[in-house]
Structure 1
Amino acid sequence: MAHSHSHHHHTHDTKGRNLFISILLNIIITVAQVIGGILSGSLSLLSDALHNFSDVLSLIVSYIANRYSKKKASFDKTFGYKRAEIIAAFVNASSLIIVALYLIYEAIVRFIHPQEIESGLVIWLALLGIVANGFSVLLLKKDSKDNMNMRSAYLHLLTDMSASVAVLIGGLLMKYFNWFWVDSVLTLLIAFYLIAMGYDLLKNSFRVLMLFSPEDVDLKEIREAISAFPEIKNVHHMHIWQLNEKENHLEAHIDFYEDITLSQFDDILNKVEEVLYHQFGINHVNIQPEYQKDDAKDIIVQD
């Protein structure tokens, strides 16, 4: 069995620092909003505080995962902790949806039993949330583009900044128009927004953890590209999965027309790897060569 791979590592030394700063900012916001929400009687402010608390937990998870993902592989952990950040993304996306469902419940209860709210305090604490979360969003924006873990943390902060904007608008409406019902409406809008943001990340991280094929890769196209080599008779028993967002793995059995030498196989394998990397973004290839072997030749074979 031939096995080769090429990895492209990009080190972001600022990730951990930016996450740590964001954690501290969100702890401050959470404490301030819990106190303010109790004093003012604002459900939307308390819901924002609850979301901020989930942010603190998710950011801590992301921070730990970021630290673990840098640990080297060992004899009992041959892939190291490369999936730590995917697990963090899954946990964080799940928490977004769970918090959203709880907020929907609380908003319905408040609709049934409306309360008067101290809008002035709501306005000032919403402004605090916008400024602090806005700064955290800017810190994490760059790394969120190519890292699922950082994207989960970024989404938590972005949705919380958006929630604070909604709470600010609600506070102004309550202050000048006495529309206290808007508090429950905003809570529902925040909850639905969290579900919309969390679902896509939950689905993508679940796909990686379940070893599903990447959505943008077609096994049939890959099979055709490999089979285009004149020496190759058949490609079968294919598996493709993502270890994390940086590594796409493929393993397959390749049936050859002739009983070639190992050096000939190595030459063909190098060409196959180039095609797989440049056309399909697969950077870790594990090929089993065969000649007249009596086994199933289907593209997918259940192990």
Structure 2
Amino acid sequence: MGHGHNHHGHGHAHPKVEGKNLIISILLNILITASQVVGGLISGSLALLSDALHNFSDVLSLIVSYIANVLSKKKASTTKTFGYKRAEIIAAFVNSATLIIVAIILIKEAIERFISPEEVESNLVIWLSLLGILANGFSVFLIKKDSKKNMNMKSAYLHLLTDMLASVAVLTGGLLMKFYEIYWVDPLLTLIIAIYLIYMGFDLLKDSTRVLMLFTPNTIQVQHIVQTITNLESVKNVHHVHIWQLNEDEVHLEAHIDFTLDIRLSEFDKILSQIEEELYHKHGITHLNIQPEFGKCDSKHVIVQD
């Protein structure tokens, strides 16, 4: 069985993320959460307590992201042959799921407050929301560059970004309550924050689930890959194809290839290198595992099979 690693992929791979920015963001979110819980209880602001709950979920999510970031740098071993390459995908899945869970809790709280509105101490809400905007804004600035590197950092970035936007919404509500005594805006803003969390979290949850379930990446068409390989002169048939994404840097392919002639092993190595080049440059496949066949009695018409 031929196995190929495409070494051209090194320039394509995402650089590793430094954990220092995550630690700073964790500490800032702990400060914000504690302040908002105390302030929310004193002021009676549901929006502030909702924001505090969201910030607390962010603290947990950022810790998960940091641990995953550390684990992803560990080397493979005989008991963990892929190392911890999926740690950051799992973190992204957990973090996006918590975004949606928190949003559902916020919707429930907002509906209850709509039914039974309460007066809110707006001054405290305004000052604490300003603290949230500044601290979360700084965290967003720290994480933004890293968020483009992988799903894990993107999930952390989304948590922080939605926190900052939530604080802006809370500030708006505090000002409306202070100057116009419009107290129903508090649960309304909570509801808007919750809907936005679901909107932001769903796509990331879907993407991380696809990777964990070993689905073929959206950017890859199996039939196109089969056609690319079949176009080679010595290839008769391609079947039993599996394509999956190990993490955001590696896309693996395994397949059976039926050859037109009973070729030598040295000839197969040359063809394997050619296939490797074609699939990397045309389809972004970084790892190949090819089973060569000649005259073997199995189903040549089954492209995909368990």
RMSD: 1.0
Confirm or deny: 8 A CA contact 2:14 2:150 kept in the other structure: no
- The amino acid of 1:211's aligned partner reads L
User: Which residue of structure 2 aligns with residue 28 of structure 1?
Assistant: 31
Alpha-carbon offset, residue 300 of structure 1: 3.4
Q: 1:30-69 residue pairs with structure 2 within 5 A?
A: 30-69=33-72
Residue aligned with 1:206, SS: helix
Work out which of the residue numbers 102, 106, 120 in structure 2 matches 1:103.
106
Once the two structures are superposed, the pairs formed by residues 104-123 of structure 1 within 5 Å of their partners are 104-123=107-126
Quote the Cα distance in structure 2 between the aligned partners of 1:64 and 1:300: 39
Q: Count matched residues.
A: 302
Contact 2:236 2:258 in 1 (8 A): yes
Question: What's the CA shift string for 1:116-158, capped at 9, x where partnerless?
Answer: 0000110111111111001111111111112000000000000
- Tell me, what secondary structure is at the counterpart of 2:255? strand
**Alignment identity in percent?**
69
Q: Distance in 2 between matches of 1:49 and 1:71?
A: 34
Structure-1 residue corresponding to 2:172: 169
Deviation of 1:187 after TM superposition, in Å, equals: 0.2
Aligned to 2:77: 74
Give the aligned residue type for 1:173: L
Structure 1 counterpart of 2:131, which letter? Answer: L
Q: Map Cα deviations across residues 234-258 of structure 1 (whole Å, 9 max, x no partner).
A: 0110000000000000000000000
Unaligned runs of 5+ in 1: none
Corresponding residue number in structure 2 for 1:234: 237
> Aligned to 2:19, what secondary structure does the other structure show?
helix
Structure 2's unaligned 5+ residue stretches are none
- Deviations along 1:9-32, one digit per CA (max 9) or x if unpaired, are 54435x200100000000000000
Give how far 1:43 is off: 0.3
Question: 2:51–2:166: 8 Å Cα contact kept in structure 1?
Answer: yes
Q: Tell me which of 145, 151, 156 is aligned to 1:142.
A: 145
Task: Show the 5 A alignment for 1:203-222.
Answer: 203-222=206-225
Post-superposition shift, 1:292? Answer: 1.0
SS of the aligned residue for 2:109 comes to: helix
Q: TM-score normalized by structure 2? A: 0.97
- Pick one of 16, 27, 31 that aligns with 1:12: 16
Cα distance between partner residues in 2 of 1:301 and 1:4 = 20
Structure 1 residue ranges (4+ consecutive) displaced by more than 6 angstroms after TM superposition: none
2:158 to 150, 155, 158: 155
In the alignment, the residues of structure 2 paired with residue 299 and residue 212 of structure 1 have an alpha-carbon distance, to the nearest angstrom, of 18
- Provide the C-alpha distance between the structure 2 equivalents of 1:176 and 1:104, rounded to a whole number of angstroms: 26
Tell me whether 1:83 sits opposite 2:102 in the alignment. Answer: no
Query: 3-state DSSP class of the match of 1:23?
Result: helix
In 2, Cα distance between equivalents of 1:105 and 1:10: 40
TM-score, normalised to structure 1, is 0.98
Q: CA 1:109–1:144 in 2, change beyond 3 Å: closer, same or farther? A: same
Write the letter of the residue equivalent to 1:222: I
Question: How far, CA to CA, are the matches of 1:161 and 1:40 in structure 2?
Answer: 20
